[in-house]
Amino acid sequence: MEYIIISTGFALMLLGLWGILSQKNLIKIILGFTIFNTGINIVMVSIGYVRGKAAPILDVIKPSEAASKIVDPIPQALVLTAIVIGLGVTALMLVYVLKLHREKNSLDINSFKDLKW
């Protein structure tokens, strides 16, 4: 099961990278970044998976036997952080695109050559 999930994560990362490299539209490039981000999060969560164990919430599981019944909570806490940071980065990128579009009236990455060498 965890192999399916982790390979999905890697596949999403590759898909996102392809989107970043090959797309011309700035919005689609940002979508590529978001997909890449999601892939990394899936991989991180699946690394913390322990076979046959439950989510790290002690409602049915008793605290005394928690250590033998839950999956690793640390990657989940890290991913929670990563999602929030990813949201901030995506929002910033979208706002930059808004500004760029106002400058040149175009979303095509080929029309921005100011920093190209």
Q: Applying CB under 8 A, which residues contact another protein?
A: 2-3, 6-7, 10, 13-14, 17-18, 21-22, 47-51, 55-59, 63, 66-67, 70-74, 76-77, 80-81, 83-85, 87-89, 91-92, 94-96, 98-99, 102, 105
Residue 102 or 113 having the CB closest to another protein = 102
In the complex, least distance from residue 14 CB atom to another protein, rounded to whole angstroms: 6
- Tell me how long the chain is: 117
| Helix or strand run (H / E) with residue 76 | helix 73-104
- C-alpha 56/C-alpha 50 separation (Å) is 11
User: Is the torsion defined by CA of 93, 94, 97, 98 positive or negative?
Assistant: negative
Residue 34 or 76 having the CB closest to another protein = 76
